Amino acid sequence: MSSFLTGYYGLLPGNLDAAWPNMTPAYQNSVAGGRSNYNSFWNTVQQVTVSDVVATPPSTVVATIHIVYKNGQDENDRTTFGLVKNGTGWLIDTSHVG
């Protein structure tokens, strides 16, 4: 689970086509706001890094997400992710900051 989440953020912001399928359709629509909003958000990002990743089976991962925006702003958010199985892999289904 930890390597999945690290791998997902490793695709961002440069490879949106590869990152997009790593979320459930419900997450893509409700949280990401659809593909155009997802693209618009990530196009404002210069760099993203993931640290302090802790997986708690069966399906929770907590990580610090550090985003540096193209305008120079940056933020660190401790985020809890709920993952669901997708065959032999995972998909992001929920997230909560804080």
Q: List, edge to edge, every strand of the sheet that includes 45-56.
A: 45-56, 60-69, 74-86, 89-97
Q: Containing domain of residue 35, as a range?
A: 2-97
**Phi, psi of 9, deg, nearest 5:** -70, -25
Q: What's the domain count of the chain?
A: 1
Amino acid at 16: L
* Residue 68 bridge partners (DSSP): 47, 74
pTM, whole model, 2 decimals? 0.95
CATH number for the domain that contains residue 18: 3.10.450.100
What's residue 26's pLDDT? 98
The one-digit pLDDT tens for each residue of the chain (98 residues) are 999 999 999 999 999 999 999 999 999 999 999 999 999 999 999 999 999 999 999 999 999 999 999 999 999 999 999 999 999 999 999 999 98
